[in-house]
């Protein structure tokens, strides 16, 4: 067995990527403080071809050297918007008829394994601050809350790990 060379991966260029069909998801980063997490979210969003990323509150915005370290150029392929206030982002998403979904540990959350996205719906997936999670302001306005099952001693996954797990689950369920 041999690893594929980059030219064998048949990846689209940025212009082709912008015109291809997207996973009907917008990732919302709610007060994410780590610039490396922001960059990694962009790279993960590119890998799953999501529609966009919304950056809210203290979440840093491109262009920034520390974001690019992990984004590796994905800030050029993934459209993004910045909202100073999470309520503005939610209002924008609701006017576009996105389902507002927090990825959080909460009362009455739905296990990711039991959540089945519908092909005709669009989803805004909210990922919160590394310490405090999804903001209380956002939690008051969500349509649903998904929790990733965990079995170890730690209280949560890193935000980018959570993003990858949830996007893979949505992709798998929407395309099979």
pLDDT of residue 107: 97
For the beta carbon of residue 86, count every other beta carbon within 10 angstroms. Answer: 23
* Non-local CB neighbours of 26 within 8 Å, separated by 6+ positions: 50, 51, 52, 53, 54, 93, 98, 122, 123, 124, 125
Backbone angles phi, psi at 64, to 5 degrees: -155, 130
Is the backbone peptide bond immediately before 63 cis, with ω within 30 degrees of 0?
yes
For the beta carbon of residue 73, count every other beta carbon within 10 angstroms. Answer: 12
pLDDT digits (tens, 9 = 90+) for 80-138: 999 999 999 999 999 999 999 999 999 999 999 999 999 999 999 999 999 999 999 99
Domain 21-146 has CATH 3.50.50.60: no
* Nearest Cα to Cα of residue 133 among 86, 72, 74, 78: 86
pLDDT of residue 157: 96
Enter the tokens of residue 160: 């980018």
pLDDT digits (tens, 9 = 90+) for 17-66: 999 999 999 999 999 999 999 999 999 999 999 999 999 999 999 999 99
Rounded Cα–Cα distance for residues 135 and 102 (Å) = 10
pLDDT reading at 176 higher than 90: no
For the beta carbon of residue 8, count every other beta carbon within 10 angstroms. Answer: 9
Ordered by start, the domain boundaries in the chain are 21-146
pLDDT digits (tens, 9 = 90+) for 143-152: 999 999 999 9
* Nearest Cα to Cα of residue 28 among 137, 153, 174: 137
């Amino acid at each position: 067995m041999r690893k594929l060379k980059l030219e064998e991966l048949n990846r689209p260029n940025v212009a082709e990527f912008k015109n291809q069909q997207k996973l009907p998801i917008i990732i919302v980063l709610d007060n994410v403080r780590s610039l490396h997490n922001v960059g990694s979210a962009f790279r993960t969003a590119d890998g799953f071809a999501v529609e966009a990323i919304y950056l809210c509150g203290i979440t840093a915005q491109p262009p920034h050297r520390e974001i690019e370290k992990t984004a590796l150029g994905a800030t050029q392929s993934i459209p993004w918007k910045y909202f100073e206030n999470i309520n503005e982002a939610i209002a924008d998403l609701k006017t576009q008829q996105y389902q507002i979904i927090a990825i959080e540990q909460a009362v009455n959350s739905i296990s990711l394994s039991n959540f089945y996205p519908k092909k005709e719906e669009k989803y805004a997936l909210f990922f919160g601050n590394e310490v405090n999670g999804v903001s209380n302001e956002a939690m008051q306005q969500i349509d649903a809350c998904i929790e990733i099952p965990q079995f170890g001693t730690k209280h949560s996954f890193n935000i980018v790990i959570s993003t990858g797990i949830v996007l893979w689950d949505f992709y798998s369920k929407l395309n099979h």
